[in-house]
Amino acid sequence: MAVNLNDSRRADGRGWGPGWPNCDTSKWVELDVLSPAGKVVRFPAHRVSSENGQLKFSEEVTFGGSVREEIRELVSLLLQVSERRGFINLQPGWCWGGACRAIKRSDGTLTETPSNHSWGLALDINAPENPFGGSTHTIERPMADLWNEYGFRWGGDYSTTKDWMHMEFMGTREDAKEMAEKAGKELAQEVDELTPEQEKAIKRMSTFLDELTEKLGKAADEPVSDSEDAAPKGAASRVARVVLASEKE
Ligand SMILES: [Zn+2]
């Protein structure tokens, strides 16, 4: 069954527990995507506060994550497929997920209604090129159609201020399960094979890890001090020595 994208119930009414201001971030998980273009794209959570009624984003935080675990696989697939089909070119630093906050108005002031970001059910994608209330955007109808099919409403379809960067899950927890299964059947094969760029990125990462391992191994063999007490053992101290050594370089 398709998810009703116009369900007027808030997410707490759809079984997702409390949102802003009593956000339950315990079920949030991290979302990192190795994009088909070979970039590692993080969707961090933001800590937000309100100053003179204006929303203020502070540095990204991870409360151990930023999307509800029930939708992680689903959004991960949708993001991958969106890029492979040429709908978007995901950019590191331009995307995020959870934030414990209310919905904002077009003038930036806050309403009293919790945002779907406060349930870990919304993502902002390539924000700088899809600005809230902006006149241009790179997310277009074909990408929205894809996401709609799996229960996400697009902020570009809002009747009020358009939120071009924004995708939010409108279903229940049962729907989330159903949509994840549907995506597994219909979309997973599209991302089965790594792109050449992803293969290159993975190779780069494994080379980096090999080099690090080698460095750590060497550091572990080097005598630190004559005194037994001054020579701490174990992985943590080896890491510390590598860091110290790299700082000296
Ligand atoms: Zn948003």
If pLDDT is split at 50, 70 and 90, which confidence band does 244 have? confident
What is the pLDDT confidence band of residue 231, given thresholds at 50, 70 and 90?
Answer: very low
Scan for tokens 């080097």, then name that residue.
222
Ligand 1 center from residue 51 Cα (angstroms) = 19
CA 214 to chain centre: 32
Helix (H, G, I), strand (E, B) or coil at 42: strand
Q: In this structure, are residues 45 and 62 in contact, taking their beta carbons and an 8 Å threshold?
A: yes
Give every CB contact of residue 213 below 8 A, 6+ residues apart in sequence.
none
Taking the centre of ligand 1 as the mean of its atom positions, its distance from the CA of residue 195, in whole angstroms, is: 29
Would the pLDDT of 126 be above 50? yes
- Give the pLDDT mean for 178-185: 97
pLDDT tens readout for residues 9-67: 999 999 999 999 999 999 999 999 999 999 999 998 877 766 666 667 666 665 567 89
Task: Judge whether residue 90 has pLDDT over 70.
Answer: yes
pLDDT above 80 for 216: yes
Q: How confident is the model at residue 223 (pLDDT cuts 50, 70, 90)?
A: low
What residues does each domain of the chain span? 11-192, 197-248
Instruction: Report the separation in Å between the CA atom of 208 and the middle of ligand 1, taken as the mean of its atom positions.
Output: 34
Confidence tier at 226 by pLDDT (50, 70, 90): low
The C-alpha atoms of residue 65 and residue 77 are separated, in whole angstroms, by: 18
Nearest to 200 by CA among 32, 36, 33: 36
Whether 228 shows a pLDDT value over 60: the answer reads no
pLDDT given at position 245: 73
**Cα separation of 113 and 204, whole Å?**
44
Average pLDDT estimate for 89-105: 91
The pTM assigned to this predicted structure is: 0.84
Q: How far is the CA of 116 from the centre of ligand 1 (A)?
A: 8
The answer to whether residue 236 scores a pLDDT higher than 70 is no
In sequence order, what are the residues at sequence separation of 6 or more whose Cβ sits closer than 8 angstroms to the Cβ of residue 200? 38
Mean pLDDT of the chain: 88
CA of 52 to the centre of ligand 1 (A): 21
Phi, psi for 194 (deg, rounded to 5): -70, 145
Rounded average pLDDT over 126-149 = 96
113 alpha carbon to ligand 1 midpoint, in Å? 14
> Which pLDDT band holds residue 115 (cuts at 50, 70, 90)?
very high
Distance 132 CA to ligand 1 centre (A): 8
Residue scoring higher pLDDT (248 or 118): 118
Q: How far is the CA of 178 from the centre of ligand 1 (A)?
A: 23
Q: According to the model, what pLDDT value does residue 57 have?
A: 67
Pick from 40, 1, 42, 3: which is nearest to 152 by CA? Answer: 3
C-alpha 204 – ligand 1 centre gap (Å): 32
- DSSP single-letter state for residue 194: P
Q: What separation in Å is there between the alpha carbon of 187 and the centre of ligand 1?
A: 24
- Give distance in angstroms: CA of 185 to centre of ligand 1: 28
* Among 12-21, 131-140, 227-236, the least confident range: 227-236
Predicted confidence at residue 89, as pLDDT, reads: 97
Rounded to the nearest angstrom, the distance between the alpha carbon of 197 and the centre of ligand 1 is 29
